Structure 1
Amino acid sequence: MHSSLSELNWGLVVSLIVASAIVAYIGDILGMKLGKKRISLFGMRPRRTSRFITIVTGVLIALVTLFVMAIASDAVRVALFNMKYIQRQISTLTAELSKSRSELEALQLDLFKSQTELSAKGRELQEVEEKLRESLANLKEVEAEVARLNKKAKELERDRERLGKELEAMKQERDSLETQIADLRLQADRLRESLEKMKEGRILVLAGELLTQMPIDPTNIGEKEIENAIEKLISNAKLALSIRTGLRPEDIDIHVGEEELKKAIKETMENKKRKVVRLIVATNAVVGESIDCLVSVKDSVLVYKAGEVLASEVFTERLSEEEAELALYNLLRQVNVRAQGDGILPDPITGAVGNLEATEFFDAVENLSSASPPFKVNVIAVSDIYTEGPVRVKIEVD
C-alpha cells in the first residue's frame, strides 16, 4: 500500500484538484451573480439559468480535467483517444500470448523429449567413448603387433637375402664341386692308367712329392735370371732322381707348363723379398714317363738364428736307453710342431721340417741315458734357418 501511494503522480493529482477548484469557484461566482441579477439565458427562468450554469461548470470541470490529464500523461492521452485500438491490441496480444504459451508448452514438451533423447545420446556417447577407449587400446596393441611384424618381416627379408646369398654360394659350390668331381673323375682315370702302368713298371715319383727347392733373392735380378734359376732347379731335381734311381739325368723328363712357369716368375717378382721356389710333383709317374711338376713360390724369411734353443726339457731321474730314445723323439716332435707353427715349410709327403742323422740321434740317446740327474736337454739350431728349412739341429746335455 505504501509502495502504491509512493508511485502516484502527485503533481497530476494536485493539478486536477486545483483546476477543478478554480473552475468550480468561477462557476459558483457566475451562478451567484446571475442569480442575484436574475439574468435569464436562452429564454429560461433565472433559476433554470443558474442550474444551467452549474451544469456547464461541471462540464468544464470534466473537460479541464481531461485536458490536464491528456497534457500531463501520455498514458491517459492514449487511453482517451486510442482505447479501442489498445483493446484490439490487447486482444491480439492475449491471443498471441495464448499461442506463445501453447508453443512454449510444446517447446517444453519437445525440450523434455530432447533432454530425454540427450540423456540417451549421452549414455550412447559414454558407451561409444568406452568402446573408443577400448578400440584405442586395441589399436595400440595392433600397432605394437604391426611394428613387431614389420621388424619380423625385415628380419625375414634379411634372412631371405642371406639365404639367397647362401643359396647362390651353394650353387657356386655345387658347380665347383661338379667341376671338382669332373676333375677327380679325370684324375681317377689317369690314376687307373697310372696304376696299369705301375703294374708294368717301377714308380719313379709320387704326387705331392717335393723334388727340390731353391732360395732366390729377386732384388737385383730380372725375369730371365729367375727363369734360369727355375731351369737350374729342374736340373737339380733330375740329378737328385738320378742318384736315387740310378737312371741317367738325361733319361728323366721333368715337365713344367708354360703358364705354370709364367705364374712362378710373376709371383717371384711381385715384391723384392727373398723367395723360396719349390718343385713339387703334380701326379704319380713311373720310370719312363714324363714327370709333371708344379712350381710353388713362398716368401722366405729368417725364422731361427744359429744357436737358438728350439726345445728343452729338464729330467730329474736317470733314463734307460728306451726312455732316453722316447724322450728325445718327443723333443724332436715338439721342434717339428713348433717349426711348422712358426712358418717352416714341411715336406709335403712326410710332414717333416728336417732330419737328424742316425749316428747323431743314437749318440744323443747314449748321452741322455748316461747323464746323472738332474740334467737338461737342449735342441739347438745349428745354423740360420729360413722358411724353406731344413731345420738342422744338435742335441746338447747340460
Structure 2
Amino acid sequence: MFGIALIAVLAITGGMIAYIGDKLGTKVGKKKLTIFGLRPKHTSIVVTIITGILITISTIGILTLVSRDVRTALFGMEALKNELSTLSQEVTTQNGELDRSRNALAAKNLEYATLTNKVQETTNQLAAIASELSAVMAQRDQSALQLEQTERDYAVARGEINAAQQSINRLQNTKNELDMRVKDLTEAKSNLQLDINNLTELTSKLKQGLQVVREGSIIYRAGEILTTTVLPGSENHNDTVKALSDIIYNTNQTIIDKLDIKDKNLEILWIAQSDFDKVISEVTTTHQDVIVRISAGGNTVYGEPVIGNISIFPNHYIYRPGQTVHMEIVDMGRNAMSPEESVMLFLQKVNVAAIKQGILPDPLQGTVGAISGTEFYDAVNTLKRYNGKVTLVATAKNETYTAGPLKIEIHIQGSP
C-alpha cells in the first residue's frame, strides 16, 4: 500500500510540475519573453528543460525523504560497496572455516564411530562384569554370614580364654603371694634363729664373764625406760635403719656402763627383729619427728640380758617458754592444808594437765618431769608467807615436746 501511494504522489507531483511548465512555456511563447537575452523559442525550451529538471529533482527528493533505501542508494553506495567487499571476504573466510569444520566434523564422526564401537565393546564387557559381580556378591553375602557365625564363635571362645586367663592370673598372684610369704617366713625364721644364737652366745658370755646370781637384785623393772630419743622421720630406709641401730647401740653401751662390764662388745640389750622391722616401716612412712622409747620388757636381774621393747610416738610441740601449764587458787587460811601438801597436790595437778596436753609420762612413776628440792622448798617457804587465797601458776621453762621432760617454774601471787 505504501508503494502504491508513493507512485500516486510521484505521478501527481510530476503531472502538476509538467502542467505548470507547459503553462509557463506557452505563456512565454505567447508573450515572447526572454531569459538571459535568449530568443523566445529558446527561452521556451529552457523553461521546458527546467520543468523536466524540477520533475526529476522533486521525484528524487520525495523518494529520498520517504525511503531510507533510496537515501542509502544515493548517498551510501560506496560504503555499501566497501561493506559488501568486507562481507565477501568474511564469507570467504567463513567458507574456509566451514570447510575445515566439515573436515573436523568428519574426523569427529569417524572418532565417534570408533568410540561407539569401543562403547559397545565396553558395554558388553560391563555386562559380563556385572554378571560376574552378581555371582561374587552372592558369594560375599554367603561369606559374610559365615564370618558373622565365626565371629560369634570367636567371641565365645575369647570369653572362655579371658576367663581362663583371669583364673591363671589369680592363681599366679596367689602363687606370688605364697612365694613372698614363704620368703618372709624363711627370713623371719633365719632372723629368729640368729637372735636365738646371739642370745645363747650372750648368755654364755654373761655366765662366763659375770658373777651370775639368779636370785640377785633386779636391775631393771618391767616397763622401765632405758632410753628416749627423738628420731626424724625419713623416707630413706637405709638412713632410718642406721639411726635406729645407733640408738640401740648407744643404749646397749649405757647398760654396759651401768653394770660396769669390762667387755664393751657384749650385746646386753636384745631387741626382736620383728619389732625392729616394724619400727623401721612406721618411721619411713612418716614425715614428722617421732619419739623412740626403749623400755625393759620384763624384770631383769643381774646376769641376764635385757629384753627390750621399742615404742614410737609422734613428737608434737606442746609448750612454749613461759606458757602456763596449770593455774590454781588455794586457800592458805587457818583450816587449810600445810604448804608442803598444797605444793605437792598442785604439782600432781600440773602433771595431770601436762599428760592431758600430750607429754609422755614415765611408765613406772607416771610423771612427765621433775622439780629440784631447792625449787620445791622455795615454793613451800614462799607459800608460808601468805594467809588467805593464793594463786599458784606453773609455766614451762623452755620449749617442750611430747618426749618431755617438762621443766616448770612456780609463780605465787597473793596478799601476805
TM interval, short-chain normalised:
0.3 to 0.5
TM-score (norm 1): 0.46
TM-score (norm 2): 0.44
